[in-house]
Chain A
Amino acid sequence: MSFHNAASTRRSTSAERAAASPWMRAVSALTYPLSPGDFIDSLLPHTPRAARGRVEHIERNGLDAATITLRCPRGWHGHQAGQFINVGVDIDGVRHTRCYSISSAPERDDGCFTITVKAIDNGRVSNHLVDNLMQGDVVLLGEPTGEFVLPTELPQKLLLIAAGSGITPVISMLESLQAKDRIGDIVVIHSAPSPEAMIFGSELEQMAQRHAGLTLHRFYTQHTGESRHAGEHRGRFAPAKLSRLCPDWQDRQVWACGPDALLQSLEQQFDTAGIADHLHVERFRPALRAAVPGEVKEAQVQFSRSAVSATGNGAQSLLELAEASGLSPEHGCRMGICHGCTTTLKAGCVRDMRNGEVFNEEGDLVQICVCAPVGDVDLEL
């Protein structure tokens, strides 16, 4: 999976450049050293622009999720159902970027698309998007990416499995198939704690009523009430239940998105059955943000551009460690004041030894002369 993050949008994204008309490029000689877009962003922030989307509408979806309608940025080339997009917002003055699957179909033609965000406990961005975002706000957008898409040559039989917010790419696929009138033989399995908490529960139900070929199974993991309809189940979905719910599962191409535990058990089952190639998964939680270790012992530091690795100890700066490993990174004051050694953190966790500030987001720019590794680290050096 590829990520665009804050660091890779440093100058202008390719979407921005693609959207820059020749006229704009000529004007940039007049706005040098800024770009014309910089003036537009500051002075006319609501002008439609590449890599920016205006919030048109926000709607609750389930108990703790919201579907956010965004205006497509200028130069938008559309997406494929199942793809995700980077969304950047400023929270307490700090830019944060996260991926969200696009939950609307590419066929939607009002110049908007949606993302559907589930607020998770202590989740910084998800809670901000669900609770604080307002109509008219502008968010930063990357370009749609991801391989979790249906092939153009659609398989005869599909099985789509989702849990929680994992339904977002799946609903986009279904809406898209519906728009193209291509819903054939599809089994959909979706799980949530309760009917009220289920994201896109009623949309799925309506779709199932409309299309005879679409079979819907809904699992409510914490629900104690009566099941209302056929296809509603209490308890947790597990791959072992497939043979009962969907006896021909081995003949189907499967797209699955949900918590890691679910995806792992699916992968195991498909492996064992020798049909691993039938299963396509999307993980919402890649090993992205390193946990902050309580206690620091040894840390493996990877200087990836130089293909050198070293062992740090939490007290020696990354700059010293790099030098001890035979590298000579650019730097200045060696005391954290000149910002001449700023380097991109690709993965892992480092701590500013002066005040204990922790950096553990991909793309964080860290001052290596005052930061020490406090866990395994991958640096763009």
Chain B
Amino acid sequence: MTHPTYLTDAQAEAFGKELDAIRDEVKASLGAKDAAYIHRMIRIQRGLEVAGRASLFAGVLPPFWLAGTAMLSVAKILENMEVGHNIMHGQWDWMKDPKIHSTSWEWDTACPADQWKHSHNYMHHTYTNVVGMDRDVGYGILRMSAHQDWRVWNLGQPVYNALLAGLFQYGVALHDVEFDRVLEGKKSWRDAWTRLKAVGRKTSRQALKDYVLFPLLAGPFFLYVFSGNVVANFVRNLWAYMIIFCGHFPDGAHTFKAEEIENEIRGRWYLRQLLGSCNIEGGKIFHIMSGNLSHQIEHHIFPDLPSNRYAEVAPRVREICERYGLPYNSGSLARQFGTTTWRVLRLSLPGGSSLEPQAVLA
């Protein structure tokens, strides 16, 4: 049992209540400043996208190609992370703006929003780090926990991992199709096919825009615009992969077995979010570029609080954890990504139970 079992149910509930109080306080204080934040983020993102694409049209000149590709990469990262991911979580639903709402947002990536909301908002955030339930534990192709049985094809894990990082948007898009579960007979082909068709439609429109229409508009400079888009999507893939894998797999992150969450009370759900999530330390711009997923712990405890507030609640969450004697996994990007990559490599071989942290005992 990897849960900190020394907390009684009553203590776990008290822990949860303290977190609830933070949530209520922040919710009650949301206002024009927060709304201005997301509007500004969206404006910056769209401005960078327009500027980046315009610059790529002059991509025959290397500085323009570089600047354009850089701006487009940043725009795509911002759109997917600080803007899209967070809006689809319902973080901005309180504004009642039909255009900035979890029910209507569609993002600039291969995965259709409604499938993402199912696999991510529901499955991943509810069953965080529970092996067999949270599909982010390995995306159905990687062995990310010693609780997962080792199979001989896990030997190829370093290669699959590199492919997943480079093609991350497609990995995410195929997330909810769940091929592995279809093969195991746990999901019907028909269901998978319906989802796959939706992914196909979304992917083709994305590809049409980035790889056909914009390059064609550039006429003789087709290749410059095309390559700029390829690189921007690739950079976004790598960045998103890195931030997301650092959220739950650095050294010290707990994974759980399904039987551990039977009859889980709300306080223990909070506990599991804490133990399964890891923060990355960095500056303001880094936090924004990571969609504030660098505050993964706060994001998992309060998935629908606006991301611009995570930084201010983080010290308070940390203080509560200290009082309850709970670990709070926070480290530099190098430490978090380094240990995550080590986990990928180590678990391609059998065993690896030493990677699983010990139960946090008093």
**A contact set with B: CB distance below 8 Å:** 6-7, 9-11, 29-30, 32-34, 38-39, 41-43, 90, 92-96, 332-333, 335-340, 342, 354-355, 357, 364-365, 367
Contacts and interface: CB of A to CB of B under 8 A. Distances in A.
Interface residues of B, number: 52
A90 B35 contact: yes
Contacts of B97: 6, 90, 95
Contacts of A34: 46, 106
A92 to B, nearest CB: 4
Contacts of B123: 332
Contact of B31 (A6, A29, A92): A92
Contacts of A364: 96
B327 to A, nearest CB: 22
Task: Give the 7 A-B residue pairs with the shortest CB-CB distance, closest first.
Answer: A93-B35, A332-B122, A339-B90, A33-B106, A338-B121, A338-B122, A333-B126
B50 A39 contact: yes
A39 B42 CA distance: 9
Contacts of B121: 332-333, 337-340
A333 B125 contact: yes
21 contacts: A6-B97, A32-B205, A32-B206, A34-B46, A41-B99, A42-B42, A42-B43, A90-B32, A93-B30, A93-B94, A95-B98, A333-B126, A335-B269, A338-B121, A339-B117, A339-B304, A340-B121, A342-B90, A342-B102, A342-B103, A365-B101
B118 interface: yes
Contact of A38 (B34, B99, B118, B205): B99
B104 A92 contact: no
Given A6-B98, A94-B94, A355 B122 contact: no
Contact of B20 (A33, A92, A354): A354
B209 A340 contact: no
A338 B106 contact: no
A342 to B, nearest CB: 5
Given A39-B46, A332-B121, A11 B104 contact: yes
Interface in B60-109: 89-90, 93-99, 101-104, 106-108
Given A30-B209, A42-B46, A339 B102 contact: yes
A365 B125 contact: no
A41 B93 CA distance: 19
B24 interface: yes
B140 interface: no
A32 B209 CA distance: 7
B50 A43 contact: yes
Nearest to B214: A30
Contacts of B103: 10, 339, 342, 365
A343 to B, nearest CB: 10
A38 B125 CA distance: 30
Contacts of A354: 20, 23-24
Contacts of A367: 90
A9 B98 CA distance: 7
B89 A339 contact: yes
B208 interface: yes
A9 B96 CA distance: 11
A355 B24 contact: yes
Contacts of A90: 32, 35, 95, 97
Contacts of B94: 93-94
Given A337-B303, A355-B24, A6 B96 contact: yes
B100 to A, nearest CB: 9
B27 interface: yes
A317 to B, nearest CB: 14
B212 to A, nearest CB: 9
A347 B27 CA distance: 24
A325 B90 CA distance: 27
A95 B95 contact: yes
B47 interface: yes
B316 interface: no
A143 to B, nearest CB: 16
B187 interface: no
Contacts of B50: 39, 43
A329 to B, nearest CB: 14
A333 B103 CA distance: 16
Interface in B160-204: none
